[in-house]
Amino acid sequence: MKAYIFPGQGAQFVGMGKELYENNELAKSMFERANEILGFRITDEMFNGTDEGLKQTKVTQPAIFLHSVILAATLGDSFKPDMVAGHSLGEFSALVANKTLTFEDALVLVSKRALAMQKACEKQASTMAAILGLDDATTEKICAEISTEGNIVVAANYNCPGQLVISGSIEGVNIACERLKAAGAKRALVLQVGGAFHSPLMQPAQKELEDAINNTKFSVPICPVYQNVNANSVTNPEEIKQNLILQLTAPVRWTQISENMIKDGCNSFVEVGPGKVLQGLVKKVKNDVEAVSA
């Protein structure tokens, strides 16, 4: 069985999608449609912009979504997913791939999500950090202790065994990094991100996005999506919708998603979009599965 997986924020690079635009008529028309929907030429930022410009959440998220979804569309008849999943933002790409959402509706939601998240980030200084070489339970316990002391910090991305990203207030994350290193973490690296994604600090953005999601048509998909919130295989449109709303403040359970897909018969993962991060994470869960780029 084949799973198609879609990357999230952080995979962007200047020049992304340019080759697709120049060499494929379908891709070109989809990029131009996206420029119309967004009301600005995101293609200029993607193809010829700056790293700094592309790092803005309001640009990054639609850019990665477009690269992923348009690349999938150009695969034509060879694109036959048995299951799909996406890391954080990538879940929207996955929901276009399995026909839960139309390209246009998903792009509007991604743009609203990005703007809402950027607003939430500006409300309170916050950050994230990658914790390497420590078991999940120890990280969770230390984060919970710090949170009860008055600083918000939570487990945000379960990426693979031995790699967990934490998220919260700047002070909370800094305290956590020190305590986690003392508890045996090999490294604790504060990430260059705009804010505390997948934490309670995203609640204002979640409220904004909830209305938009509830007013969007979700169709019965052609194959299951394994969702970030619970790592489970889901085909019910209402359930998909609710999980997507919860996603902003809940952790991304990528380790468990990879495990569940493999357990359900997946022996081939195809990453669609910029970068190769997800295939590397899947390999760390089970190194003998096939994991390639589209």
- Tens of pLDDT, residue by residue over 139-192, are 999 999 999 888 999 999 999 999 999 999 999 999 999 999 999 999 999 987
61, 106 in Cβ contact below 8 A?
no
Runs of H (alpha helix) within 103-234: 103-123, 136-148, 170-182, 203-214
Which DSSP category does 200 fall into? G
Lowest mean per-residue pLDDT among 28-32, 76-80, 161-165, 192-196: 192-196
Which domains are assigned to the chain? 2-121+200-293 (3.40.366.10), 125-190 (3.30.70.250)
**Tokens 């939601």, located at residue:** 109
- Please report the pLDDT score of residue 193 as a whole number: 79
Spatial CA neighbour of 63 closest among 4, 25, 107, 29: 107
Lowest mean per-residue pLDDT among 9-18, 86-95, 264-273: 9-18
For residue 230, the SS3 value is coil
Sheet containing 187-190: give its strands across.
153-160, 163-169, 126-132, 187-190
The predicted model scores a pTM of 0.95
Spatial CA neighbour of 291 closest among 264, 256, 253, 262: 262
Spatial CA neighbour of 231 closest among 206, 209, 264: 264
- Please report the pLDDT score of residue 49 as a whole number: 93
Q: Name the catalytic one among 67, 126, 169, 198.
A: 198
pLDDT band at 10 (very low <50, low <70, confident <90, very high): confident
- Please report the pLDDT score of residue 246 as a whole number: 96
Is 88 catalytic? The answer is: yes
CA–CA distances in Å: residue 45 to residues 14, 164, 211: 8, 31, 29
Q: How far apart are the first and last CA of the chain?
A: 16
- Please report the pLDDT score of residue 150 as a whole number: 85
Is 147 catalytic? The answer is: no
**Tokens 């599965």, located at residue:** 289
Q: In angstroms, rounded to a whole number, what is the distance separating the alpha carbons of residues 25 and 37?
A: 18
Which DSSP category does 16 fall into? T
In this structure, how many other beta carbons lie within 10 angstroms of the beta carbon of residue 99?
Answer: 14
Quote the mean pLDDT of the chain.
Answer: 95
pLDDT tens profile 177-211 = 999 999 999 999 998 777 899 999 999 999 999 99
Q: In angstroms, rounded to a whole number, what is the distance separating the alpha carbons of residues 226 and 257?
A: 6
For residue 225, the SS3 value is strand
For residue 20, the SS3 value is helix
pLDDT tens profile 199-256 = 999 999 999 999 999 999 999 999 999 999 999 999 999 999 999 999 999 999 999 9
Q: Name the catalytic one among 67, 68, 87, 88.
A: 88
pLDDT band at 18 (very low <50, low <70, confident <90, very high): very high
- Please report the pLDDT score of residue 60 as a whole number: 92
Nearest-10 crossing angle of helices 103-123, 203-214: 160
